[in-house]
Structure 1
């Protein structure tokens, strides 16, 4: 087991792509709510040139986690909002704070680049820790409101329907 005190969060490199795909596949492999397409989503976002932030968690030279952020479209015309996801940590390293570190670093990076906010579909108890909340008037079609979250960096929330990039429909076929 590697020491997570040596955790480094950095931008992905071309040489990381295969490992990111593998870790993403493993991270979601046993998750019942997953369609098991997350690795294809990351690849589709990268190929479309919309992977705005793509960070890896590295311990002693080995990639053990990844997080992706890409622009979202909001029906009210609000710009500079991003979707978080997927975020993946190798199963051997889960529940050690690596995902939390990736999320915090990614959100900080987004905000420093002028983003107005971030949204995601995820586990209610987990994402509230980062300041994400269910926002009345902001939704994704077909997604229960209790698992759709938004975090505003400037205190203003858009109203309307959010659409993640079409890459989220990738299924590897």
Structure 2
């Protein structure tokens, strides 16, 4: 398996994988593929990685900047993370998360937030922080990871407008 930055030729495979990966997720809006497209089209994908093997894309992760109380504070949002269903539970998503966080660290990011399964994301160091709020979601599913030894921030987090894609 190789993890590399997304290339223009990967967009259709990413769209297909994302749709498949979220098709059976109970709390999914089923718009995750549209979200990735909207963020890409806006030029707001800070980090977009694919997992490939034998030339086939079977995993994807996206990171885009978020604001805290309306300000760019050097924080990023992880998501969506997608792996072809037949390849899930083989460490591919974890490898994508670790590589993405490593790249965020290299660009001197201050932190990262994620909306997702706490049992999954806490293994990477994410944790709940009552000081950071994403309106309209249960607090236990919204987590943060402070990077580069920076201090945690507090406030209302807003993702890129592409997350409102429908």
Report the aligned-residue RMSD.
1.0
Give the 5 Å matches for 1:23-34.
23-34=17-28
Distance 2:155 2:52 in 1: 37
The runs of 5 or more residues in structure 2 that have no matched partner are none
Pairing of 1:1-173 with structure 2 (within 5 A): 7-75=1-69, 77=71, 79-153=73-147, 154-171=149-166
Q: Which moved more, 1:100-109 or 1:135-144?
A: 135-144
Partner SS, residue 124 of structure 2: coil
> Which region of structure 1 is more displaced relative to structure 2, 75-84 or 91-100?
75-84
TM-score, normalization by structure 2: 0.97
Q: Distance in 2 between matches of 1:170 and 1:76?
A: 20
Pair 145,92 (structure 1): closer, same or farther in 2 beyond 3 Å: same
How many matched pairs? Answer: 165
Moved over 3 A (4+): none
Q: Which secondary structure does the structure 1 equivalent of 2:73 belong to?
A: coil
Q: Distance in 2 between matches of 1:130 and 1:138?
A: 18
Q: Scaled by the length of structure 1, what TM-score is found? A: 0.93
* Consecutive unaligned residues in structure 1, runs of 5 or more: 1-6
Per-residue deviation, 1:77:
3.6
Give the drift of 1:76. Answer: 7.1
Looking at structure 1, the residues matched to 72 and 140 of structure 2 have their Cα atoms a distance apart, in angstroms, of: 22
SS of 2:24 mapped into structure 1: coil
| Aligned counterparts of 2:70 and 2:26: Cα–Cα separation in 1 | 33
Q: Distance in 2 between matches of 1:30 and 1:20?
A: 17
